[in-house]
């Protein structure tokens, strides 16, 4: 146990945001920081080896295995919602894909009341965080904690064929979707360093743990934030079956994620009075927005047989996996050193949309997220989803019992525009794979299947086949203090309370067009300066690439094959 019981800052959650904060706040040697994590060590080959990504997210030891309530617009399916429960949090169980989001996503945040969170102000913090493998420019930087590269550099020819097919279908090529121009097809980036998953635990926490002023406690579950009137004074936790309290001299910072942070607020009596009353929790501070505004990305696998024996399906047997693992253990190279998502695409689902709302991850295999083969033989697949959903859900406390999980309801596909976008996913994807670049490889369509053609057939397929992309956010919305749906202000402070902040993906006002680890790290980098009351990094005015005729055209030219 930590001998101290009082600290300057208490950070709840050693995940994508918490590890960043632990590093940045302990840069001041006079500042004592306590970092609390329910999970344990991330020292596992299944976490550190990139190709093993499907294992930790499906393992109770490393992830909260949440499930939603029956989703009414997905045939009442209960959807899997794993969240990191280990040092590094969800950055230790995710797919390691590095996508910042489109510049307009952050302009959208500011438009919704998150003052100072436009793209110009966020860009310096994306750059501060990263160590980009391919040099510096106005958009990218080197020397930061977070290693970003392209894994095995698209050695499998299927990656390049997919990128070429996207251009033949009428879309742009992008040299760097995290740079000036997101829209288009190109190489995908990942958080891997020297063949090892570069989680925030590796990038930020381990260097900080060498400092005497950082105190890390694992196996600790936070029951509630302690309040003295409208001031947060510390936290009450359970560790080894015993309860104890830690005091915060300056601030308590919740970084428990989009499920954990609103739940802890609700356990503390902070939230919607109606929700708290139904759960039998005493109201301490009314904030109706706590737990609302829940958003996520859905995706499905568009799968094809591959006519050439190039796919990873032949590597899924026990002997092949053993060989991959041995090579990785010895040399940190080969197929074990990549997440296999090495090419991608970002497109708009229809004309009149200013920036991309659909995202492709290309995988040279036909398999499921649990790592099992989808069929016997060679294949490839597109992970395709609509990334700017209008449907909204909630996270609601059910009981004051610490062991009772919250009620999670996304209301996936509730909004008709979301269904329309998934129809575009099916039709546009078929058009891309029908291009000449894929002729040497394209076999039969496995899923959805050639017979799925009409709106009704596509809708039925989507409702039965879509899965979460594991990007929940928005449940402690950042906004103006007079916004009744906002939970934190633009300085990440819980509205109406002192010395309490939330810093993680739960404060996103809207979901970005991309995977959420990169913007979560950026948010934590910028929040650290706000907490330390340092002068924020100067905003950078840069050009933002948009399709020239986005108002009237869905792509830049007609496809070679329709």
Does the residue 559 lie in any domain? no
Q: What pLDDT digit, counting tens, does each position of 76-93 carry?
A: 999 999 999 999 999 999
Beta pairing class for 192-193 and 196-197: antiparallel
Stated length of the chain: 562
pLDDT at 482: 95
The answer for residues whose C-beta is within 8 angstroms of residue 453's C-beta and 6 or more apart is none
Counted domains in the chain:
1
Sequence-distant (≥ 6) Cβ neighbours of residue 173 within 8 angstroms: 163, 166, 167, 184, 185, 186
Q: What is the DSSP string of 228-258?
A: ETTEEEEEEEEETTEEEEEEEEEEEEE-SHH
* Of the listed ranges 117-131, 134-148, 223-237, 363-377, the one predicted with least confidence: 363-377
Please give the distance of CA 291 from its chain centroid, rounded to a whole number: 18
The CATH number given to whatever domain includes residue 136 is: 3.50.50.60
- Confidence (pLDDT) at 5: 87
Bridge-based pairing of strands 6-12 and 242-254 is parallel
Is 548 domain-assigned? no
Say whether pLDDT at 371 is over 80.
Answer: no
Report DSSP letters for 401-415, one per residue: -TTSPPEEE--TT-S
Which one is catalytic: 378, 415, 471, 557? 471
pLDDT digits (tens, 9 = 90+) for 305-341: 999 999 888 887 889 899 999 999 999 999 999 999 9
Q: Using the predicted structure, report yes or no on whether residue 374 has a pLDDT greater than 80.
A: no
**Is residue 545, in this structure, part of any structural domain at all?**
no
Mean pLDDT of 452-460: 98
Residue 471 annotated to the active site: yes
Strand partners, 467: 299
Q: What is the pLDDT of residue 373?
A: 52
Q: What percent of the chain has pLDDT over 70?
A: 98
Can you give the pLDDT at residue 368? 67
For range 437-445, the mean pLDDT? 97
Average pLDDT, the chain: 96
> What domain range is 216 assigned to?
6-531
For 2-17, how does the pLDDT look when each residue is reduced to its tens digit (9 = 90+)? 567 899 999 999 999 9
At a CB cut-off of 8 Å and minimum separation 6, what does 309 contact? Answer: 378
* 123 φ, ψ (degrees, to nearest 5): -55, -45
The confidence band for 537, taking pLDDT boundaries of 50, 70 and 90, is: confident
pLDDT in tens, 487-500: 999 999 999 999 99
In a domain, 558, yes or no: no
As a whole number of angstroms, the distance between CA 405 and CA 45 comes to 29
In a domain, 461, yes or no: yes
Residue 54 has pLDDT above 50, yes or no: yes
User: Whole-model pTM above 0.95?
Assistant: yes
Q: Is residue 337 part of a domain?
A: yes
**pLDDT at res. 1:** 44
Return d(Cα 561, Cα 168) in angstroms, integer.
Answer: 8
Residue 64 backbone dihedrals phi, psi, to 5 degrees: -65, 120
Confidence of residue 369 (pLDDT cuts 50, 70, 90): low
Question: How far, in Å, are 20, 172, 225, 363, 381 from residue 344 at the CA level?
Answer: 27, 12, 42, 9, 11
pLDDT of residue 536: 78
> Does residue 288 carry a pLDDT above 60?
yes
List beta partners, residue 11.
35, 253
If pLDDT is split at 50, 70 and 90, which confidence band does 534 have? confident
| Omega of the bond leading into 302 within 30 degrees of 0 (cis) | no
Q: Is 96 exposed, middle or buried (0-12, 13-18, 19+ CB in 10 A)?
A: buried
279 found inside a domain? yes
Give the pLDDT of residue 496: 98
How big is the chain by its Cα radius of gyration, in Å? 23
Does residue 136 belong to any structural domain of this protein?
yes
Query: Three-class SS string for 323-360?
Result: HHHHHHHHHCCHHHHCCCCCEEEEECCCCCCCCCCEEE
Cβ partners under 8 Å of residue 322, min gap 6: none
């Amino acid at each position: 146990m930590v001998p101290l019981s009082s600290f300057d800052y208490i950070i709840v959650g050693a995940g994508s945001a918490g590890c960043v904060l632990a590093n940045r706040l302990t840069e001041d040697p006079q500042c004592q920081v306590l970092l609390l994590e329910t999970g344990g060590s991330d020292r596992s080959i299944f976490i550190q080896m990139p190709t093993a990504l499907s294992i930790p997210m499906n393992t109770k030891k490393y992830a909260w295995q949440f499930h939603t309530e029956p989703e009414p617009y997905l045939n009442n399916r209960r959807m899997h919602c794993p969240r990191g429960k280990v040092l590094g949090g969800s950055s230790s169980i995710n797919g390691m894909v590095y996508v910042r989001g489109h510049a307009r996503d952050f302009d959208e945040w500011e438009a919704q009341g998150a003052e100072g969170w436009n793209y110009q102000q966020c860009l310096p913090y994306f750059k501060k965080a990263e160590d980009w493998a391919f040099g510096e420019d106005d958009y990218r930087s080197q020397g930061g904690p977070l290693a970003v590269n392209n894994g095995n550099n698209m050695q499998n020819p299927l990656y390049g064929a997919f990128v070429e097919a996207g251009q033949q279908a009428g879309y742009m090529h992008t040299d760097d979707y995290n740079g000036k121009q997101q829209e288009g097809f190109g190489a995908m980036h990942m958080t891997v360093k020297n063949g090892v998953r570069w989680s925030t635990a590796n990038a930020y926490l381990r260097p900080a743990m060498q400092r005497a002023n950082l105190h890390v406690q694992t196996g600790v579950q936070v029951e509630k934030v302690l309040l003295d009137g409208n001031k947060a004074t510390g936290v009450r936790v359970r560790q080894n079956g015993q309860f104890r309290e830690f005091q915060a001299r300056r601030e308590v910072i919740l970084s428990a994620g989009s499920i954990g942070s609103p739940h802890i607020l609700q356990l503390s009596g902070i939230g919607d009075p109606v929700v708290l009353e139904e759960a039998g929790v005493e109201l301490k501070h009314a904030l109706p927005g706590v737990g609302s505004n829940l958003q996520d990305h859905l995706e499905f696998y568009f799968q094809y047989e591959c006519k050439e024996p190039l796919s990873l399906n032949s590597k899924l047997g026990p002997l092949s996996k053993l060989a991959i693992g041995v090579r990785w253990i010895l040399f940190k190279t080969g197929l074990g050193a990549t997440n296999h998502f090495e090419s991608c695409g970002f497109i708009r689902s229809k004309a009149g949309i200013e920036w991309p709302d659909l995202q492709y991850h290309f995988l040279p295999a036909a398999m499921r997220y649990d790592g099992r083969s989808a069929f016997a033989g060679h294949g490839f697949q597109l992970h395709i989803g609509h990334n700017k959903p209008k449907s909204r859900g909630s996270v609601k406390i059910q009981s004051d019992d610490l062991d009772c999980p919250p009620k999670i309801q996304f209301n996936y596909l509730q909004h008709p525009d979301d269904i329309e976008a998934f129809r575009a996913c099916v039709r546009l994807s078929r058009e891309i794979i029908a291009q000449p670049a894929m002729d040497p490889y394209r076999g039969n369509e496995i899923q959805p299947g050639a017979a799925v053609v009409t709106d009704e057939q596509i809708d039925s397929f989507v409702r039965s086949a879509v899965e979460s992309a594991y990007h929940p956010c928005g449940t402690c919305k950042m906004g103006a203090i007079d916004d009744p749906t906002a939970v934190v202000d633009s300085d990440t402070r819980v509205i109406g309370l002192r010395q309490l902040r939330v810093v993680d993906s739960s404060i996103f006002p809207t979901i970005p067009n991309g995977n959420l680890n990169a913007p979560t790290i950026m948010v934590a980098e910028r929040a650290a300066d706000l907490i330390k009351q340092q002068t924020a990094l100067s905003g950078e005015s840069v050009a933002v690439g948009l399709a020239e005729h986005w108002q009237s055209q869905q792509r830049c030219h007609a496809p070679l094959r329709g």
